[in-house]
Structures are given as C-alpha cells and as structure tokens.
Chains A and B, each alone.
Chain A
C-alpha cells in the first residue's frame, strides 16, 4: 500500500468534509434554537450564492455585494419566521420538516426566477495552486475553506458562550416555555437565528460556488450535510465539524479504495449508510445532547 497516496487521499477527504461541515453548521444553528430541521438550508445556500454573484456581475464591488446579499438573507430569515415558523409553532417536528421541504422549493424557485438558471463562475481571488507537502499535494483553496470554517466556528462559539444574545439562544433551546416566562421574545430570537444561518449559508455558498460554479446543484449540498448531522448530532456545532470530517474522509477513502470494485459512484450513498448504521447504534450522534424521539 502506498502510504503517501493514502495520506493524500485522506487529507483531500478531510478537506472535502470541511465543506460539508460549513453547510451543516447552518442546520445546527436553527435546530439548536427552534427544533426545526431545516431542509431549506441548501436552497438558502443557492439563493445567497446566486444573489451575490449576480450583484457582483452587475458591477457591485465584492464587499457591497456581500452586504446587500447579507441584508437579503436577514430579510429572508425574518419572512420565514413570520410566514412559516410562527404559524406552525407547537406542531410535531416532522410537520415542520415537511414545511421546510416546501420552503426549499419556494426559495429555489424564487432564486431562479430572479436571477435566471445559467451557471455563473465565481472567483474569490484565491489561487488554487496545489501546495506540495512531502510529495502530497494539498489544495490551497481547501486550506482556505478550512480556515474560514475555523473562524466561523470560533465566532459562533464566542457568540453562544459569551454574549447576551447567545445566552438567549441557549435559553430558547433549553426550554421554550421557561424562556418565554423570563421575557425572551422567541419570534425575535428565531428570526435572528435564521439570519445568522443565512450568513453561514452565504459563506458556504461563496466557497462552494467558487469550487463548483454557482448553479442549481448548489442546493443539493443539503443532501450531503444530512448524514453529517446524523453523525455529529443535530444540535452540536463541534459535532457538525467532526461529522463532516468523518463523512468526508470515509466517503473519499471508500470511493478510492472500494469504488473501483463496484463500478464507482459509491460516494452517492456511502454517507447515508454510515449515518443509518449510526442512527441505529447511537441515535444522538457523537455530540448530540437532546434525546432522539425514539420508540
């Protein structure tokens, strides 16, 4: 066995996993505070990336386009809270899940209706030159993504641990009735969380978009993130990172070392099989807190 090659594949897998984690963090934020598994996360990634790239192509400079898109995501978050979540409050989780399925259709459709369906290329100005490291090549762009993910996780950790807003988030997550009783405004908290999740989607959308081009398939990253969530636990940001790394690693290794024997393409489902096995053995995930609705 060629260990140099193995290490190269493993590192590529881990870095691919970071990209999944980026999307999964958005899920975790929303699930943590409102108990909604937001299937529309992928659609939000698409919406954000498409809005940004279209504005950028219209001639707006990077940071202004970024700010405008962020504002759009905040408005989207507030609208979702008012039109979808609040009327469905106290419904069972699966009903909310199906509502976000509908939501993903609306957001995807709206994004394509506004900005068209063509593929945009997105250049963030980061050279994607492979860095040689002892005969292993590491993509510079992937390292950049890992760095961004690290910064986001650190920022969110600070937000949740050390600010009043974060305290309110945690209170809402812990016990909604108690949070209401102490005078916290749950609707406002939810809208804020969705806006923060919108910001994370924007960052994820830019990085994914720079990698794959900004196009409809961006919204399919949601399907890559669900196994990550199952593995890491739905309510743990650290879990989203570790889950992403594990899924990225196994997926890539399996595709390289097992794939050739069965005709390739097993990365389409291997993550789900891992997640399924994990669900049966340890339903709260690696870092999950809340008990899973089990039989």
Chain B
C-alpha cells in the first residue's frame, strides 16, 4: 500500500500545507467561521457521498441523516465517557455512522438507481424523527439545540476560529489523502467496475457484496465525521434541524456541480455551494441597497442551483473538476482525480 505518492497526490499535500501554514495568517475570523470551516465540513461530506455515488454509482438522498448520526454519536461519546479524547470521539462517530450506513446500505444489494435513492429517504426521515423524539440522544436536553462542550486536543483548547479551522483542516486533509489512495488503487477500480457493469465486474472476480458494503461503510464513515465537524467546529451546536433533507440535496448538488467520481470535485463543488449564497447576498446588497429582502437571495440561489444542476448534467457530467482540468493551469490543480467521468450505467 505504501507506494510512492503520484504527482497529483503530492500537489494535494502541497495545497493542504499552504492552507495550514499561510491561510491562518489571514487577520479575519469571518473568513474562518463563515467560509473555510463549513467549506471543509461540506467537502468531507461530499467526498464521502462521492465515494458512494460517483464511484460506486449509488445515489443517496440521506447524507444529512448520516451527518446527524455522526454529530450525535460524537456528542454522546463525549458526554457519557468523561475524558475521552476529541479525536477518538470523532473516530468513533465515523465508525458508528459506518455501521449505520452498512445497515441502510443493505437494500443496495438488491436495488439500483432511483429505487435505491428513494430507499435512502427512509434513513433521512427516520433518523431526523428519532433524534427529535428521543431525548436520550440529546443527553436529556429537550431544548432541541445543544451547545457543544469545550473541546481539547491534549492540553490545547480548541477555542478560536483559527484553531477550529486548523483542526478541521487536519482531519479533512488526512481523510482526503486516504480516500485518494483508496480510489487510485484496487478498491477504486472495483467500485467503478461495479458502477459501470455489475455483471462484468462479477465475472472479473470482484466480490460485489463485500465491495458494495465496504463502499457504504467508508462513505458513511466520512459523512459521519463530516457531520461531527459541522456540528462541533462550525455551528458549535448539535441539533437535528440542521440535518434535514435540504442538506442531503445540498451534498448531492455539491458532487454534481463539482464532478462525480472525482475527489477534488467534492472540494470545488463545496467551495461553490458555500460561496454562492455569500456572493448573492453581497450582490443583492450592492444592487438593492441594504434594505432588500434576504428571502429573495434564497429564492434566487435555488433557481441558480437548479439551473446549474440541469446544465451540468446536460453539458458536463464531470462537473467543475473537468472544466478546470481543461484550462492551461489545470494540471497544477489536477490532484487526485481518476480519468473516469461520473456516468451511471
């Protein structure tokens, strides 16, 4: 497994180093709190979904439910096991979400396409209901919104915007590199083989059952950790309301816009999704003055997103990722992509 890194993986590491060493010098908390930290969490969730939807061809509409499972698992572990290290809690959150993902992934052994997509809605609605209805998950707190406890890595308190950003970055970078190694290797090829022609994959000796469930598990692990990052490091509250169906759609849109079956696609799409509403509200304020209706921004954002989804599916199924690869500088950013488009068979 420990072969030499290829050029694109090295490029990714370089980019992460810049984000770790140079970006924190930026003198504004806003850019960390409102842009970079949510961007990292959304990227990780989209990366997880892309492993399943882009590579294995199984579209899920339940990502937000998995994020919620991750967030609430991390919360409960921290609450119920005093002294449990934060990183261990995050890891356990990923593991529990992975188990959950395998359970709800069982239908994928018999179903494909939108039948599977519909069955993932069951997870979405069930999880949101369970988390809202049983106070046990919230540690007996019935207010619906739980403030996260103070976070520590060893003796260091994670109490500033930059520290929260750096912790997110560390986790996301680590998981991204693992994912890049995973999809560049045998597993990635097996997933694509199943996506493109399951029968042929089976003939070639790919173990369908094991590979599919493995994809579910890894994907859910990533989405669960992303949910924990989202709740603990971005919102700093844990609540079921933020993990609704719209969030699931958002994660799916990230990978359609960014590029299916592409690791950097998850990042490009996430950047787009996070920045778009900010740009729109700035533009709205510039055009209509400060008094304009912010509800309008939401509506316009919806329309733009919808048009982009249709546009990308029509014209460029490989998303922003493929667009960037075509510009002259593209090779520089072209880290960790496989040369497959995100077509579904």
Contact = CB atoms under 8 A, between A and B. Distances in A.
B110 A226 contact: no
B134 interface: yes
A128 to B, nearest CB: 29
Contact of A272 (B114, B125, B253, B302): B125
Interface string A100-119: 01111111111011000100
B330 interface: no
Interface stretch (B69-77, B79-87, B307-315, B320-328): B307-315
B306 A105 contact: yes
Interface stretch (A13-21, A55-63, A133-141, A263-271): A263-271
13 contacts: A83-B310, A84-B310, A94-B114, A95-B343, A97-B114, A99-B310, A101-B249, A102-B307, A102-B310, A113-B299, A117-B295, A283-B111, A294-B112
A280 B128 CA distance: 23
A279 B343 CA distance: 25
A265 B110 CA distance: 29
Contacts of A279: 107, 110-111, 115, 118-119
B110 A294 contact: yes
Interface stretch (A85-93, A146-154, A157-165, A243-251): A85-93
A96 to B, nearest CB: 8
Contacts of B59: 94, 97-98
A216 to B, nearest CB: 10
Interface of A is mostly: helix
A268 B303 contact: no
B199 to A, nearest CB: 9
Given A95-B313, A109-B302, A112-B299, A295 B115 contact: no
Give the interface size class of chain B. 35 or more
Contact of A94 (B125, B245, B344): B344
B241 to A, nearest CB: 14
Contacts, number: 139
Contacts of B133: 262-265
Contacts of A95: 313, 317, 343-344
Interface residues of A, number: 48
Contact of B125 (A84, A108, A230, A269): A269
A108 B304 CA distance: 12
Given A92-B343, A98-B256, A103 B111 contact: no
B115 A92 contact: no
Interface string B104-143: 0001011111110111011001101100111000000000
- Which of B112, B113, B133, B253 has the largest number of chain A CB atoms within 10 A? B113
Contacts of B308: 102
Nearest to A274: B122
A105 B303 contact: yes
A223 interface: yes
Nearest 9 pairs between A and B by C-beta?
Answer: A102-B309, A105-B306, A106-B306, A109-B303, A272-B122, A109-B302, A269-B125, A263-B133, A102-B306
Contacts of B132: 265
A97 B113 contact: yes
A263 B137 CA distance: 14
B291 interface: no
A223 B121 contact: yes
Nearest to B119: A276
A103 B310 contact: yes
A258 interface: no
A275 B125 CA distance: 13
A98 B317 CA distance: 11
Contacts of B110: 279-280, 283, 294-295
A293 interface: yes
B300 interface: yes
B316 interface: no
